[in-house]
Amino acid sequence: MWQKAADILILPNTAKKDISKYYTSPMKLFEYMASGTPIVASDIPSIREIVDDASATFFTPDDPADLKEKIQATLADTKCAQEKAVNAYKTAREHDWNARAKRIISHITV
């Protein structure tokens, strides 16, 4: 609920550890996507696996200056930010529990 009240949501995952960079499925990202609020996220493979440039604004991981720049750019271009938020919301619908369960069941053979 609070996420919808925000102007943007930040996902600052580090790229310093491989577990964060490559192997996580950040639940917070799915929550952000479902909120319909623009997202600014670290440009790392584990996040890019879920969203792309049409759904989020990316910044260089572990680079506060780039994060600041991307936040300012996102706040300045509200039309683009809202388009990305809508795309992220649509993508979130493809990853909800029902969709995930259907994919898992489709891989189970009896």
What does 61-90 look like in DSSP terms, one character per residue?
A: TT-HHHHHHHHHHHHH-HHHHHHHHHHHHH
Whether the Cβ atoms of residue 6 and residue 40 lie closer than 8 Å to each other: no
CATH no. for residue 91?
Answer: 3.40.50.2000
pLDDT tens figures, 5-61: 899 999 999 999 887 788 777 889 999 999 999 999 999 999 999 999 999 999 999
- Through-space distance between the first and last CA atoms of the chain, rounded to whole angstroms: 41
Which residues constitute the domain of residue 73? 2-107
Instruction: Name the band, by pLDDT with cuts 50, 70 and 90, for residue 109.
Output: low
In angstroms, the CA 66 to CA 68 distance is: 5
Q: Which of 84, 80, 5, 13 shows the shortest CA–CA distance to 43?
A: 13
Count up the domains in the chain and report the number.
Answer: 1
Q: Is the dihedral of CA 79, 80, 81, 86 positive or negative?
A: positive
How far from chain centre, in Å, is Cα 9? 9
CB atoms within 10 A of CB 89: 16
**Mean pLDDT within 94-100:** 77
